[in-house]
Structure 1
């Protein structure tokens, strides 16, 4: 008799997930801004006892050009252990890798050799459009009933509405659009949920024409980018509530709900306020039978000599923080906030989510600062901490420096290069320290820019849990 057992990287609760063994590998999305070479999934060695620690040990080129890899995720994760999951014995084996510009979706098998993922399927843009009515796929989440894939655009060149497509866990076929009733929702970006409460949350960025050539000043100052988050009935796939943060708060992007399934709150980062160039973090939480949001963190812009600023910022004489990613540790204690414009990663203790306390900060890069990494003190860095990934045990944080090709060019017109850093966390008192042994950069990425990182076995932004 065959005995089936769940994937050992799946954990029923966040409490158990923080005891998981340390990752040995990291998978990184790397893209060619010129769209003349294939993008790639790069594999890094993260085992400090390995002779290859901090180096590129695997490389998989994609079959086409012009994808612009951005966010990607696993086919399955700890949500497979939820009581409603119809597939408890799937494996965390395949990486689902969308191309934000091409609308192609690549499926890579990380077995039998996790250092050499193999492409096993490519879903064309036409299939995504035909079956789900979407284009420009963005965020991937492994749910208990399928793979959820947010998308920014509509099909056949339509600007929208953006929304969520569902892929089959095993065949990776596009099942269709998730929404049964989208209500007033039109703009899309991120998606995540409170699984045990049948609540799904989405955020807003812009339609393809609003983002693909960078920030459009007229749209930003006209307050035309997204400025709301949406709450949905996950089981009925129906829109429930829209909360407007105020149209001065442009681009609420990354969503990070509490990992503890008994909690009813989460954080969303706002890129910029058009009133003062500040960035902010907001908390969503219950308010009786409805949802409410409260601003809990303000990060001001930093004054700067216009001569040192890119053209887009010269009239303002300041560097905006540009909060473009956030991540919440699996124990829900620390929130990490990337300030890509000022070149800073901030750490906040959010044990009391309504009253965050800053406990750590590391500067790398920045539009004006160009802070060097301690392992290469004479090498000024462009870009800044952008995509953030936290290990399951909360002791390591990985940051990469590229945001999005068109944005890179606007804010760092002399180039962003390519680098990825690892920071060690003091999990008792808080605080961050760069690991001087781990700094792959420059030629190691063969001229490609690096964006999101996924950790072998799972990480803080990949898994959802149904037990406390």
Structure 2
């Protein structure tokens, strides 16, 4: 019985803890963005990386599948099926890879996990014309066998928090999942659902007219309100918005909540979201029949000189939870560290360890930290196998057994250019952190050098595994 199959019988699906004993990942997939000089002429690609330490190609890119359009901006991707799927005819075989900027949906066949092939491309222009939606983001399969994709904008680059359904067999667009509310009144980004608690929760990045140009602090002020600030709660069965909770004080800058992560245990009605600009992790939970939020982790801002602002936030980007629900990990893209927290008590997470990469507070950046509540000195830039890391950590992906955390650095092309021009010029890579209950350490024997790719200095974004991972599977 294949670990990649999607079964119709709930009793046949491994639990999150049982899934931790599945075989180690042999390959990983990463979405790659072209160097600046190639962006007008060459498309990005899905790179397959050998992750088998017994292989001669360990840590090397062994296959490249190019997308359909240089404008794609490959960003996030997901599976056509995961453990939540209850359709007996659908198996985990296809990756759905949206182009954030183009709106193209690439359906990738991974029946040969070492050499993915393009199955079909659904043109973003047709979706824009039919549904008035643009900027696709998060992909999840549904228990019905359908695929759902969150969207962040409309054809005028204004915010629109909509959700598109694809047929699970043909992948043809079927219509919008969300009903009964004006989805132009909320912003879009990530989402997670849990039918057992009749809930779906989505987060907000902002208006594409803002974030696709880079970061402007003025857009995060309530007067302009162009960047995200709320968690949105949907009745799963009715497919309707039931409430929105603004994170933080309405008079403060917008929080920009990004990745939404429920605990993997389907009986648990709680989870976490990272608010990027606030640098706060919020816990969301159900109490007395109502959904609520509370801040549980705060990354103090650093007072700096020789930077565009006098105060630098950590900018929490990706977060994830280990399959046993014991540890929370997140990345501070600007400060430059990955953090590990013990969440045995979800009300009071405890910091276990942190590892610094190539963030803006590294001692060689020319930025001077004048006030720091956490560190006594600015950290050194991380170097792995002779390769300096030119940016802070952005995307994370954890092995099912909870022992390996793969880390990439690219966020979004306009933001990369703005904050980490050295990474855009010199490329990025994939770093591996070895994780234990006592802390994280950099694996000295693993580094995927994306700076030496055939097209030049590539940047890597999201990572996935053929058999599923900590952020693509939803247990119900």
Residues 9 and 457, structure 1, Cα contact 8 Å, conserved in 2: no
- In the other structure, the counterpart of 2:420 is 412
Q: How much has 1:183 moved relative to structure 2?
A: 5.6
Match of 1:433 among 434, 441, 451: 441
* Alignment pair present for 1:297 and 2:278: no
Query: Which of 266, 270, 276 is matched with 1:271 structurally?
Result: 276
Measure how far apart 1:6 and its partner are: 8.1
2:352 to 349, 359, 364: 359
Distance 1:301 1:158, change over 3 A: closer
Tell me how far 1:217 sits from its aligned partner.
2.8
Give the SS at the match of 2:453. Answer: helix
Structure 2 Cα separation of the partners of residues 41 and 186 of structure 1: 31
Residues 92 and 430 (structure 1 numbering): CA distance in 2 closer, same or farther, change over 3 Å? farther
Given the alignment of the two structures, is residue 399 of structure 1 paired with residue 407 of structure 2, yes or no? yes
Q: Which residue of 1 aligns with 2:104?
A: 104
User: Mean alpha-carbon deviation: is it higher for 176-185 or for 336-345?
Assistant: 176-185
Deviation at 1:372, TM superposition (A): 4.1
- Structure 1 residue 195 displacement after superposition: 2.6
Counterpart residue number, 2:181: 182
The yes-or-no answer on 1:459 pairing with 2:469 is yes
Q: Deviations over 1:174-205 (max 9, x none)?
A: 11111112367421111111232221001111
**Structure 1: runs of 5+ lacking an equivalent:** 274-278
Check if 1:216 corresponds to 2:216: yes
Distance (Å, rounded) in 2 between the aligned partners of 1:152 and 1:73? 17
Deviations, residues 189-240 of structure 1 (Å, cap 9, x unaligned):
1111123222100111112101110112321234612111011111110111
State the secondary structure of the residue aligned to 2:209.
Answer: helix
Residues 234-273 of structure 1: CA distance to partner in whole angstroms, max 9, x if unpaired? 1110111111113434201110011100000010101113
Matched, 1:443 2:447: no
Q: Once the 2 structures are TM-superposed, how far is the Cα of residue 383 of structure 1 from its aligned partner?
A: 1.3
Superposed displacement of residue 158, structure 1: 5.4
In 1: Cα distance, 2:259 partner to 2:187 partner: 14
Conservation of the 8 A alpha-carbon contact between 1:374 and 1:434: no
Match of 1:68 in 2: 73
Instruction: Please say if residues 27 and 455 of structure 1, whose CA atoms lie closer than 8 Å, have aligned partners that are also in contact.
Output: yes
Q: Decide whether the 8 Å contact of 2:30 with 2:47 is kept in 1.
A: yes
SS in 2 for 1:408: helix
- Superposition pairs for residues 187-336 of structure 1, below 5 Å? 187-222=187-222, 224=225, 225-246=227-248, 247=250, 248=252, 249-273=254-278, 279-306=279-306, 309=307, 313=308, 315-316=309-310, 318-336=311-329
Residues paired across the two proteins, number = 441
The answer to whether the Cα contact below 8 Å between 1:188 and 1:205 also exists between their aligned partners in 2 is yes
Q: For the residues of structure 1 that align with 2:113 and 2:445, how far apart are their CA atoms?
A: 22
Partner of 1:276: none
**Deviation digits for residues 108-130 of structure 1 (CA, Å, limit 9, x no counterpart):** 1112x222211111111133224
Q: How far apart, CA to CA, are the structure 1 residues paired with 2:124 and 2:421?
A: 31
Pair 440,160 (structure 1): closer, same or farther in 2 beyond 3 Å: same
Give the C-alpha shift of residue 89 in structure 1. Answer: 3.9
Q: What CA distance in whole angstroms lies between the structure 2 residues aligned with 1:64 and 1:212?
A: 17
Between the aligned partners of 1:195 and 1:131, the Cα distance in structure 2 is 29
Tell me the TM-score normalized by structure 2.
Answer: 0.88
Spell out, residue by residue over 1:385-405, the C-alpha distance to the aligned partner (whole angstroms, 9 max, x if none): 100111111111111010111
Structure 1 residue 161, shift from structure 2 partner: 2.1
Shift, 1:36, TM fit: 2.6
User: Is 1:383 aligned with 2:385?
Assistant: no
- Provide, for residues 153-187 of structure 1, a one-character-per-residue CA deviation record: whole Å limited to 9, x for no partner: 12x33524231111111101111111112367421
**CA separation in 2, counterparts of 1:458 and 1:396?**
14
Q: Offset at 1:413?
A: 3.2
Q: Is the 8 A contact 1:168 1:175 kept in 2?
A: yes
Determine the C-alpha separation between the residues in 2 that align with 1:421 and 1:197. 36
Instruction: Please list, as runs of the form range in 1=range in 2, the aligned pairs for 1:79-94 lying within 5 A after superposition.
Output: 79-80=84-85, 85=86, 87-94=87-94
Q: Residue in 1 aligned with 2:57?
A: 52
RMSD: 1.9
Q: Distance in 1 between matches of 2:328 and 2:40?
A: 34
Aligned-partner SS, 1:28 = strand
Distance 1:116 1:148 in 2: 25
Contact 1:7–1:89 (8 Å) recurs in 2: no
Deviates more, 1:405-414 or 1:336-345: 405-414
The whole-number CA distance in structure 1 between the counterparts of 2:151 and 2:28 is 25
Deviates more, 1:142-151 or 1:184-193: 184-193
> In structure 2, what is the equivalent of residue 344 of structure 1?
337
Displacement after TM superposition at 1:293 (Å): 0.4
CA 1:8–1:174: 2 relative to 1, 3 Å: closer
Shift of residue 409, structure 1, vs aligned partner: 1.3
* In structure 2, C-alpha distance between the alignment counterparts of 1:136 and 1:123, rounded to whole Å: 14
